Amino acid sequence: AEKIVCKVIGAAKNAKKAVKEDPRRIIHSLKVGLSITLVSLFYYFDFLYEGFGVSAMWAVMTVVLVFEFSVGATFGRGINRGIATLVGGASAVAAHRLASFAGDKECIILGLSVFFIASIATYIRLSPKLKARYDYGMLIFILTFCLITVSGYREDEVIEMAHKRLSTILIGGSVTFFICVFICPNWAGEDFHELIALNIEKLGIFLEGFGHEYFQTTKEKNQENKASLDGYKSVLTSELIEETLVNFAKWEPRHGKFRYRQPWDQYVKIGSLTRECAYRIDSLNGYINSDMQTPVEIRAKIQELCTKMSSECSYALKELSLGIKTMRCTLSADPHILKAKTAAKKLKSSLNIGLWPDTDLIDIIPVATVASLLIEIVSCTANIADSVHE
C-alpha cells in the first residue's frame, strides 16, 4: 500500500511540474474536455435530441477530430472538414441521382463510382503539394462520399441524411470554434513569431560565450558555460516545426498584435537565414571541442578581433531578436553590425600579411578557419538584419 501512496504522490508531483512547465497543454486539454461535454448535452436534453437523433453523434466526432492545439490548426481542419463534407455529400447525392436512372444496375454503378472516386481522391492525397494543407480534407471527402453513397442505397433518405450530418457538424464546429478562440487561445502565428525571435536570440547567446570559451588559457573547461553554448543546436533542426507552424498560421485570422497582414513568407526567409548562420556556428562549435588544440600563442594573435566580432554579432542578434519580439523597427542593431564588419575587414587584412611567421601550416589552419567562419557569420548576421528590416 505504501508503494501505491508513493506512486500517487510521485504522479501528483510530476503533474504539478508539468503544469508549471507548460500550462498551455493543461488548458488545452481542459478546453477539449469542455467542448465535448457541451456537445454531448445534445444527447442528455430531450428537446435537443428530438431534432437530430443519432446524427448528433457527428457533432461529438467533429469536436474530437477537429480540435487541435493551435487556432490555425483547428481552423485548417475545421474548414477542410466542412468543405469536404459539403462536396462529398453533394457528389454522393449526384451519384445517387445518376444511379437511380439505371434501375436494376443501380448497385453496380454505385460500386463503380465508389471505386473510382476513392482511387482518384487517394491518388490526389499522395501529391506532396496538397498534402500539407488539404490532406485531411481529401480524407473526409472520401469518407463522406463513401458513407453516404453506400448507406444511402439502403435508406433512401440521402438528402436528409446529408443535411443532418452537415448541421450537426456545424454545431460541433462552432462549439469548437468558440472555445478554441475565446478561452485562452493558442495562436500558431504567435508561436511562430516567438520561435523565430528565440532562434535568433539563441545564436546571439552562443556568440556571446564563444570568445571567452575559445580563447581561454586555462585547461579546465567550465561545464555550465558549455551547456549554455549548446542552446543553438535546436535551431539546426527547427525547419520542420517552422514549416508546420507557418502552415497553421496561414489559416488564422488577423488578431491582436498581428492585426495587419503578416508577411509570413518573410518570417520563413528570416528563419532559413538564421539556420544558415546556425550551420556555421555548428562548425565553429566543432573547433571549441576539437582534439587538435592549437597552441595558445597562435590563437592569441587573432583573439582581440575575433572576440570583438563575436560579441558585436551577439549584440546585433539580440537586438534583432528583441526587435522581432516587440515588432518595432530595430535600427539599434546596425551600429553593432558595422563594428563587426570593421573588425572582420581588419582581420582579413591582417591575415593577409603573414601573421604567424615560423609556424607550421597545420597549426594555423584551424585558427584561420575559425577566423573565416566568424567573418562568414558577420555577413550572415548582416543578411538576417536586412531581412528583418524589410
**Binding mask 42-71 vs a second copy (x if CB under 8 A, - otherwise)?**
-xx----x----x-xx--xx--xx---x--
Cβ proximity to a second copy: between 60 and 378 the closer is 60
Check binding of 73 to a second copy (CB under 8 A).
no
> How far apart are alpha carbons 233 and 337 in whole angstroms?
23
- Supply the minimum distance, in Å, between the C-beta of residue 271 and a second copy: 14
Check binding of 10 to a second copy (CB under 8 A).
no
- Supply the minimum distance, in Å, between the C-beta of residue 377 and a second copy: 14
- Supply the minimum distance, in Å, between the C-beta of residue 102 and a second copy: 14
Amino acid sitting at position 18 = A
Q: What is the DSSP string of 205-268?
A: HHHHHHHHHHH--SSS--HHHHHHHGGGHHHHT-HHHHHHHHHHHTTSPP-GGG-SPP-HHHHH
Cβ proximity to a second copy: between 153 and 258 the closer is 153
Phi then psi dihedrals of residue 101, to 5 deg: -70, -20
> How far apart are alpha carbons 42 and 47 in whole angstroms?
8
> How far apart are alpha carbons 224 and 87 in whole angstroms?
58
- Supply the minimum distance, in Å, between the C-beta of residue 218 and a second copy: 27
Cβ proximity to a second copy: between 127 and 326 the closer is 127
Check binding of 98 to a second copy (CB under 8 A).
no
Kindly identify the residues of this chain, within the stretch 320-379, that bind a second copy according to CB under 8 A: 348, 351-355, 360-362, 364-366, 368-369, 372
Beta-carbon neighbour count of residue 230 at 10 Å?
11
Which of 150, 166, 268, 322 is in the footprint of a second copy by CB under 8 A?
150
Check binding of 146 to a second copy (CB under 8 A).
yes
Check binding of 300 to a second copy (CB under 8 A).
no
> How far apart are alpha carbons 171 and 381 in whole angstroms?
50
Check binding of 166 to a second copy (CB under 8 A).
no
Amino acid sitting at position 162 = A
- Supply the minimum distance, in Å, between the C-beta of residue 19 and a second copy: 10
Check binding of 9 to a second copy (CB under 8 A).
no
- Supply the minimum distance, in Å, between the C-beta of residue 388 and a second copy: 24
Over 263-318, what HEC string results? CHHHHHHHHHHHHHHHHHHHHHHHHHCCCCCCCHHHHHHHHHHHHHHHHHHHHHHH
Give the three-state DSSP class for 127: coil
Which of 11, 12, 107, 184 is in the footprint of a second copy by CB under 8 A?
107
Contacts with a second copy by CB under 8 A: the residue count is 67
- Supply the minimum distance, in Å, between the C-beta of residue 191 and a second copy: 14
Check binding of 205 to a second copy (CB under 8 A).
no
User: In the Cβ-directed half-sphere of 238, how many Cα atoms lie within 13 Å?
Assistant: 29
